[in-house]
Structure 1
């Protein structure tokens, strides 16, 4: 895919972000949210993270947002101030073209520039494609929590993957 651009998300992107995210809520266990989000919900999320000095990035082609990635604080205690938790979502037609790799690499550069040292990826298991994606980018498994998530009337394991940025 050519003519790709990465930039900071804005509140004007909120409806598109919600449209990308909502199928993950209704059809998968990739997220443990169970209620679809509105454009206003997404606008508030973008603003909240950016007001904390954290990146929310979009990848677009010819002005059309194809996906997004962001990082939030992993934990609230001061000792964890150099650790972020990342998330990435691509529209269905945009998957499998290397856009996730490019978007995450951009996000990691943003985090390094802000002085963060570690990124945590949280994966509902089993999800071999997500595990392979994270490990291709250098993440290593750091923990497994059996049956801590519950969605679609079933218990779900959650794994933590860790990437050292520096």
Structure 2
């Protein structure tokens, strides 16, 4: 593959991101969304991630986005502030060329630089390629939920992998 630029996503990337993501919605159990995502909705999602102080990245090959990765808050309550859930999708043509690993490593570096601690990835099962990518990056399997989703006429398991980013624990104030 030619030179791939990994850069922050912008709203103008939404149409191409939808073109990558919507086929996964339509024909796989990899995502539990069931309706295609419109360009304006995807642009809002990109903006929401950026406004939350998190990261949404795209892999750009000669002006064409071939993959994306981002992080969202793991849970809303304040104690979860240092934990995020990660997501990555590639154009099927880009799969198997190291794009996913490079994109994900950059995402993890960005999250670490923001002082985040735990990265959690939910993976619908089976998905051997995604499991292999996460484990290559150091994620460890921490949970497996049986038949928690139903899509395309079948029950789907979801397993979770976690990666602890290096760093100190935040200091807590103790008031009496």
Quickly name the TM-score band, shorter chain normalised.
Answer: over 0.9
Which residue is 1:108 aligned to? 108
Which residue is 1:134 aligned to? 134
Q: TM-score, normalised by structure 1?
A: 0.98
Which residue is 1:50 aligned to? 50
Offset at residue 2 of structure 1 (A): 2.9
Tell me, what secondary structure is at the counterpart of 1:132?
Answer: helix
The number of residues matched between the two structures is 166
How far apart in 2 are the matches of 1:56 and 1:88? 10
Once the two structures are superposed, what CA deviation does each residue of 1:69-115 show, in whole Å capped at 9, x if it has no partner?
00000111111111110000111111110000000000001101111
Summarize the alignment of residues 32-51 of structure 1 with structure 2, pairs less than 5 Å apart.
Answer: 32-51=32-51
How far apart in 2 are the matches of 1:3 and 1:131? 26
Residue 122 (1) aligns with residue 131 (2): no
Summarize the alignment of residues 14-33 of structure 1 with structure 2, pairs less than 5 Å apart.
Answer: 14-33=14-33
C-alpha RMSD of matched pairs (Å): 0.8
How far apart in 2 are the matches of 1:54 and 1:34? 25
Which residue is 1:152 aligned to? 152
Q: List structure 1 segments (4+ residues) > 2 angstroms apart after TM superposition.
A: none
Offset at residue 144 of structure 1 (A): 0.9
Q: TM-score, normalised by structure 2?
A: 0.92
Tell me, what secondary structure is at the counterpart of 2:6?
Answer: strand
Which residue is 2:60 aligned to? 60
How far apart in 2 are the matches of 1:39 and 1:2? 27
How far apart in 1 are the matches of 2:3 and 2:129? 26
Which residue is 2:78 aligned to? 78
